[in-house]
Amino acid sequence: MKKVLLAFAVLCLLPFDKVSAQTFFIDSFTNQSLPGWTIVNDLAGTSVVVWEWSTDPNSAGGAAGTFNGSGAANGHIRVDSDNAGVDGTPESTTITSSRISCLGQPGVLLNFTEYYAKYLADEGKVFVSNDSVNWTLVHTSSDGLATNQASANPNFVTENI
């Protein structure tokens, strides 16, 4: 019974103390084929819940709700275990972008909107890596949420990576 709805954009500030910013990568998830992204079911054979693309901001699951992200109706990605009807089945799914070069960028911010509803010990985590081997946790969607509590909708996240 968890919902994770995310839309990602990476923003580079040149440098952080300047007023203007330059965006060097953005993905608004308007393309259903999700070019540059890899989705993995970490519990293949056990769970059917994976990241999926949708233009429907409404969830049909037990903790139904509407993702209020500004571009949700144009496309977003989500993990909707309620809608999959697999209560009690462990789930673990990963979505990873292809390498995004930040070479020469004096500062990098990761910006995205999310809607997260926590069920039991669920966690939604965002990691970054500069070598695709070692990963650093930069955001946990479930921080501060009690069971059956949801984040702001949308929740605007900015992480200095």
What phi and psi values does residue 81 have, to the nearest 5 degrees? Answer: -70, -30
> What is the domain range of residue 29?
3-160
At residue 11, does pLDDT exceed 70?
no
Average pLDDT over residues 58-70: 73
pLDDT band for position 85 (cuts 50, 70, 90): low
At residue 16, does pLDDT exceed 50?
no
pLDDT value of residue 90? 75
3-state secondary structure 37-102: EEEEECCCCCCCCCCEEECCCECCCCCCCECCCCCHHHCEEEEEHHHHCCCCCCCCEEEEECCCCC
Average pLDDT over residues 70-85: 81
More confident residue, 91 or 139: 139
How many structural domains is the chain composed of?
1
The amino acid at residue 33 is: S
Average pLDDT over residues 54-69: 76
pLDDT tens digits for range 93-128:
899 999 999 888 888 999 999 998 888 888 899 999
Nearby residues of 101 by Cβ (< 8 Å), 6 or more positions away: none
pLDDT tens digits for range 120-148:
888 899 999 988 899 999 999 999 999 88
pLDDT value of residue 15? 41
Distance CA 144, CA 135 (A): 23
